[in-house]
């Protein structure tokens, strides 16, 4: 008798890691495990767990995690992880299984999905960040560099051989479709969802003091290479004489370090920096601001999708999206009227829009109420149902 096909998920981050990537992957794995055996290959310390009925089995790989500033060591670490994942998948996959990989780190899909092909397994890819476009947008690599050409060549080989590609933003699909041989029917748009309870909240004063009566503009989350928090700081500088507006900025990553240095040298009275709050306090923190900002660098359309937007929607707060108008976050803000869109790296226009939102509190509140209603459309149950449908379709499709 044939053994039912199993699903192997290869991901660097998995609980107890608390990053949003780890949380999303674990929820996807738990949902898919309701239908079939799921094995998660994780590089997170302490993630290993024996399989239980209806739950994934988690295989933990040893990983090397150099400090973020050690660029060469980190590059070596992600290559080593990719090699270990290759061997682990090669050992476990068999014909008719599905190997499902996440693009974190970006080296992972090439080795993981190669191992799957060697074993005759079907393949799925979940794109969280698209490379080499993310490297170009961050200014790390030039479009005509050898590294970019090599990644594009590898992508061309990879994408057309996949059985399914899942994107979390509508702006990602056109970039993937540029690669020759990518069949549109293999592309599936499944957006992320809010990771906190959904419902409009009144302003929480806990993180507002001593600015409780002012209009609070917030910034929070991972401020990586594709983000532009400096523009937010420059907008605060332009609005420093508007005593009714105050900025509460938080986050981590290279952008957070930039903000710390800027505030240390400038000391703007209308800016307060807050270290990242624990997950247990996130809802209180998001409730504290009247308006949130999602700032991107130029040319990031399709490169990085802000999952944080769904949490902002969940608490009923509008957002100013500083990005190209065809990016997923900008499309959502405009189509559903839950925020404003301004060009990236344009502090004057950002400051003008903040001032407009602060002066018309009624419009800002209306956008917030619409945001909470919209969040219901981006629920966890609907998204996870779509993942199960895609897996079902891949299982029923002959290998390409």
What are the tens digits of pLDDT across the range 16-38? Answer: 998 899 999 999 999 999 989 99
Contacts of 211 (CB under 8 A, 6+ apart): 246, 248, 272
Q: Phi and psi (nearest 5°) for 342?
A: -130, 160
CATH top class, domain 7-193+379-395: alpha beta
Beta bridge partners of 129: 304
Determine the pLDDT at residue 205: 77
With a cut of 70, list the residues of the chain below it in pLDDT. 1-3, 68-71, 209-212, 397-400
Q: Collect contacts of 362-370 with beta carbons under 8 A, ≥24 apart.
A: 364/290, 364/291, 364/318, 367/318, 367/337, 367/338, 367/339, 368/200, 368/316, 368/317, 368/318, 368/338, 369/200, 369/316, 370/336, 370/337, 370/338
Determine the pLDDT at residue 1: 39
Determine the pLDDT at residue 278: 87
Exposed, middle or buried: residue 361 (CB in 10 Å: 0-12, 13-18, 19+)? exposed
Q: How far apart are the first and last CA of the chain?
A: 25
Give the H or E element holding residue 250.
strand 245-250
Block residue for tokens 């992600």: 78
DSSP string, 364-396: HHHHHHHHHHHHGGG-HHHHHHHHHHHHHHHHT
Closest CA to 99 of 6, 8, 5: 8
Contacts of 348 (CB under 8 A, 6+ apart): 235, 238
Determine the pLDDT at residue 5: 83
Determine the pLDDT at residue 399: 57
For β-strands 291-295 and 319-322, DSSP reports them as parallel
What's the gap between Cα 164 and its chain centre?
19
Q: Which is the CATH superfamily of the domain at 215-378?
A: Glycogen Phosphorylase B; (3.40.50.2000)
Structure tokens given for 170:
């509508």
Structure tokens given for 178:
């540029």
Closest CA to 318 of 299, 332, 298: 332
Q: Which tens digit of pLDDT belongs to each residue from 133-185?
A: 888 887 788 888 998 999 999 999 999 999 999 999 999 999 999 999 898 99
Q: What percent of the chain has pLDDT above 70?
A: 96
Domain boundary assignment for the chain: 7-193+379-395, 215-378
Q: Is residue 135 within 8 Å of residue 141, measured between CB atoms?
A: yes
Determine the pLDDT at residue 387: 97
- Could you give the 3-state DSSP secondary structure of residue 99? strand
Closest CA to 48 of 98, 88, 82, 100: 88
Q: Taking the CB of residue 265, how many other CB atoms lie within 10 A of it? A: 7
Q: Phi and psi (nearest 5°) for 110?
A: -65, -45
Q: Do domains 7-193+379-395 and 215-378 have the same CATH topology?
A: yes
What's the gap between Cα 50 and its chain centre?
28
Structure tokens given for 286:
């998001």
Using N-to-C axis directions, what is the helix angle for 347-359 and 361-375, rounded to 10°?
Answer: 100
């Amino acid at each position: 008798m044939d053994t039912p096909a199993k699903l192997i998920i290869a991901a660097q981050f998995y609980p107890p890691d608390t990053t949003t990537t780890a949380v999303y992957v674990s929820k996807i794995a738990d949902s898919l495990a309701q239908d079939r055996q799921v094995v998660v290959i994780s590089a997170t310390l302490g993630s290993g767990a024996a399989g239980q009925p209806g739950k994934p089995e988690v295989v933990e790989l040893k990983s090397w995690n150099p400090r973020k500033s050690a660029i060469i060591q980190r590059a070596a670490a992600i290559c080593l992880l990719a090699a270990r994942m290759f061997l682990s998948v090669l050992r476990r996959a068999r014909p008719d299984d599905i190997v499902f990989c996440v693009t974190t780190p970006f080296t992972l899909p090439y080795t993981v999905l190669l191992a799957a092909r060697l074993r005759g397994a079907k393949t799925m890819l979940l794109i969280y960040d698209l490379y080499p476009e993310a490297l170009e947008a961050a200014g790390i690599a030039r479009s005509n560099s050898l590294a970019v050409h090599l990644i594009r060549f590898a992508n061309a080989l990879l994408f057309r051989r996949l059985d399914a590609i899942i994107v979390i933003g509508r702006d990602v699909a056109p970039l993937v479709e540029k690669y020759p041989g990518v069949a549109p029917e293999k592309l599936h748009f499944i957006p992320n969802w809010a990771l906190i309870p959904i419902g409009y909240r009144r302003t929480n004063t806990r993180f507002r003091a001593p600015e409780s009566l002012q209009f609070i503009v917030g910034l929070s989350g991972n401020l990586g290479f594709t983000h532009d928090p400096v523009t937010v700081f420059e907008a605060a500088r332009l609005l420093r004489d508007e005593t009714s507006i105050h900025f509460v900025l938080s986050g981590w990553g290279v952008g957070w370090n930039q903000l710390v240095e800027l505030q240390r040298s400038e000391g703007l009275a209308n800016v307060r920096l807050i270290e990242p709050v624990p997950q247990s306090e996130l809802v209180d923190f998001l409730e504290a601001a009247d308006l949130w900002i999602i700032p991107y660098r130029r040319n990031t359309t399709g490169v990085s999708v802000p999952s944080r937007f769904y949490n902002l929607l969940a608490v009923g707060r509008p957002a100013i999206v500083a990005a190209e108008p065809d990016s997923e976050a900008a499309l959502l803000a405009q189509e559903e009227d839950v925020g404003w869109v301004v060009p990236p790296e344009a502090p004057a226009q950002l400051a003008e829009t903040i001032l407009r939102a602060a002066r018309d509190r009624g419009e800002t509140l209306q956008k917030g109420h619409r945001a909470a209603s919209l969040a219901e459309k981006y629920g966890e149950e609907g998204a996870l149902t779509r993942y199960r449908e895609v897996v079902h379709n891949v299982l029923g499709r002959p290998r390409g």
